[in-house]
Structure 1
Amino acid sequence: MSEIIGFVGMSHSPFVTMLPPSSPSGPGGAFLGDAARVAAAVADLSPDAIVVIGPDHFHANFYDVMPPFVLGVEAAEGFGDFGSASGPLPVASSLAWSIHEGLAAADFDISLSYALTVDHGIVQSYKMVSHEDGNEGGIPLVPLIVNTAAPPLPSMERCVALGRALGEAIRGSDFDGRVLVVASGGLSHWLPPNDPRDVAVAGEKREALIHGRRDPRAFAAAREPRVRAMGGDPTARVNADWDSWFLGQLAVGDLDSVTALGHERLEEHAGSGGHEIRCWLAGHAAVGEPLVWSSYEPVPEWITGMAIGTTFEVV
């Protein structure tokens, strides 16, 4: 049977790779320094597999078919968006199938993929936590995509329930090893709308959100310059007070106060990008332990509140 050895929640941003700090004291420098400390702590824990919960940013999933949850069970490949890692990633397939069976037994009809494409929403945190630079080899992962970008979204309560079922599935797995659970996303950030029902989403953008699977590379090439233009603004909106409150709730194990916000109030406080905390809620619920260490840096230049939280000590 598997042993869950801890949880790491970690923010991601495309600007981690596109706008790295020029010095340790520059925007994002504190976050990257603390991420390196977490990677060292993870190395000491010696995980045999990492379950990574994160979103997709319209690189694999589109509105032709938009599943709330997707589990990779055999092969995974990094898309390589915004300078993130591209190419094949090692997958802990036996653990993935055990997780699928456990979630099915818990009444989660989760989508699965034998060939899953993952973007920076999965790859960035996986690489930073595992301290792996290459693709082949390294600590095998089980990628679990939670839809946080394409309304309608799974409720926060449903994500917590998924997390609890995930934890039970990992613990009951035939996989004989030590498993780390990583959640990638958030915290507060404000993004342009992605809902085809929104009048602001029209023309080529709307067509790409629905039919982007026909040529995801072309869609990404057209979209990336617009995303890049959002970076580097020191006045970009980040809600550091709310981010600190959220980390505090996870430190005392109070997920109910977060889920009680509901969709609209969460977006009011944390922006449309703040919906990525669903990944943190699922991962935290899977492990079932409070955060004992956290790090936070608001980085408006990266349009995101950059946080890390762990259920184990980091030195």
Structure 2
Amino acid sequence: MAEIVGFVGMSHSPFATLLPPEEVSAPGGRFLRDADRVRRAVERLAPDAIVVVGPDHFHANFYDVMPPFVLGVEQAVGFGDFGSTAGPLPIASQLAWSAYDGLAAAGFDISLSYSLTVDHGVVQGYEMITGGIDLPMVPLVVNTAAPPLPSLQRCFTLGHALGQALRSSPDAGRVLIAASGGLSHWLPSNDPRDPAVTGDRRDALIHGRADAQAFAAAREPRVRAMGGNPTAPVNADWDQWFLERLTDNEPAAIADLGHEKLEEYAGTGGHEVRCWLIGQVAAGRPLAWSSYEPVPEWITGMGIGTTFTVD
């Protein structure tokens, strides 16, 4: 039987690598300092594998086929966007199949990938938490960018099923669960039904799989242009409320918000907290430690939470 040794939730942002702070007092400095403290704590936990729950930002999944959940079971490749690692990543295949079988038995028709591409939404947090790309991983990609999204309640239920599946795995190893995404941030619409999404951009959201590198090259300048703005919207009050709910072991309160309220409070990018919801519910423990820094220059509220203490 596998043992779940803890959970880490961590925000990600392209600007953590594009606009790195020169000192702790600069925007993002506290986040990166505390992320390194988490890395050292995880090193002491000595997990044998890590389950990483994170989103894709139109580097692997497009509207030709847009699954709500995709589990990698054999091979994974980092896309290499925004300074994240490009190339092969180690997969804990036996654990991944245990997760898949358990989720299927619980009624989840999870999309399956023998060769999964993951972008910074999975890789950045994985690297920060583990200090590299050596720890075998099980990647679970959640659709948080491309409406319609899986409901918060469905993610909550999946978290329970994932935890049970991991604990029932015949693999006797120590498993860390990590989630990457959020917290509050506001992004342009990616919905082809939106009248504002037209022309080449709409076509690329649907057909970008044919040349994902070209799609990324065209999109990256638009992303870069969003950074560095000290007045970019971040809802720090809501971000703190979110962390407090997980600290008080009240994830159901987050699920009860529903899609519209979550978007009202946390923005279109805030839907990434679905990943945290899945991971914390799977671990079944409240946060024991958290850190938060609103970083409008990175367009995001940068939060970290762990179910274990961090020195």
The TM-score, its normalising length taken from structure 1, stands at 0.98
1:209 corresponds to: 205
SS of corresponding position for 2:140: strand
- Give 1:80 shift: 0.6
- Give 1:256 shift: 1.9
2:102 corresponds to: 102
2:173 corresponds to: 177
- Give 1:23 shift: 1.3
Aligned partner of 1:102: which letter? Answer: G
Q: Percent sequence identity over matched residues?
A: 71
Measured against aligned partners, the alpha-carbon deviations of 1:121-146 in whole angstroms (never above 9, x if no partner) come to 000000000011xx4xx110000000
2:301 corresponds to: 305
- Give 1:186 shift: 0.3
- Give 1:62 shift: 0.3
Aligned partner of 2:299: which letter? Answer: I
Match for 1:264 among 260, 264, 269? 260
SS of corresponding position for 2:72: strand
- Give 1:299 shift: 0.3
Inter-partner Cα distance in structure 2 for 1:107 and 1:262: 22
> Is it true that 1:2 corresponds to 2:16 in the alignment?
no
1:314 corresponds to: 310
Inter-partner Cα distance in structure 2 for 1:27 and 1:85: 23
Inter-partner Cα distance in structure 2 for 1:243 and 1:222: 31
Aligned partner of 2:14: which letter? Answer: P
Pairwise mapping of residues 100-179 of structure 1 onto structure 2 (< 5 A)? 100-132=100-132, 135=133, 138-179=134-175
SS of corresponding position for 1:297: strand
CA RMSD, 1 decimal: 0.6
SS of corresponding position for 1:314: coil
Measured against aligned partners, the alpha-carbon deviations of 1:226-260 in whole angstroms (never above 9, x if no partner) come to 00000000110000000000000000111222122
Match for 2:276 among 274, 280, 283? 280
Aligned partner of 1:282: which letter? Answer: I
1:67 corresponds to: 67
Inter-partner Cα distance in structure 2 for 1:237 and 1:187: 12
2:34 corresponds to: 34
- Give 1:191 shift: 0.1
- Give 1:174 shift: 1.3
Contact 2:159/2:281 (8 A) holds in 1: yes
Runs in 1 of length 4+ with deviation above 4 angstroms?
A: none
Inter-partner Cα distance in structure 2 for 1:8 and 1:30: 17
> Is it true that 1:232 corresponds to 2:221 in the alignment?
no
Aligned partner of 1:161: which letter? Answer: T
Inter-partner Cα distance in structure 2 for 1:256 and 1:176: 30
Note the residue ranges of structure 2 that are not aligned, 5 or more in a row. none
SS of corresponding position for 1:52: strand
Inter-partner Cα distance in structure 1 for 2:246 and 2:172: 29
1:76 corresponds to: 76
SS of corresponding position for 1:88: strand
1:190 corresponds to: 186
Inter-partner Cα distance in structure 2 for 1:52 and 1:228: 26
Aligned partner of 1:39: which letter? Answer: R
Measured against aligned partners, the alpha-carbon deviations of 1:140-186 in whole angstroms (never above 9, x if no partner) come to 00000000000000000000111110000000001120000000000
- Give 1:38 shift: 0.3
Inter-partner Cα distance in structure 1 for 2:286 and 2:271: 20
Aligned partner of 2:244: which letter? Answer: G
- Give 1:82 shift: 1.3
Contact 2:156/2:252 (8 A) holds in 1: no
1:23 corresponds to: 23
Pairwise mapping of residues 242-261 of structure 1 onto structure 2 (< 5 A)? 242-261=238-257
The TM-score, its normalising length taken from structure 2, stands at 0.99
SS of corresponding position for 2:128: helix
Measured against aligned partners, the alpha-carbon deviations of 1:263-300 in whole angstroms (never above 9, x if no partner) come to 11110100000000000000011011100100000000
Aligned partner of 2:124: which letter? Answer: Q
- Give 1:83 shift: 1.6
Note the residue ranges of structure 1 that are not aligned, 5 or more in a row. none
Inter-partner Cα distance in structure 1 for 2:225 and 2:19: 11
SS of corresponding position for 1:57: coil
> Is it true that 1:199 corresponds to 2:195 in the alignment?
yes
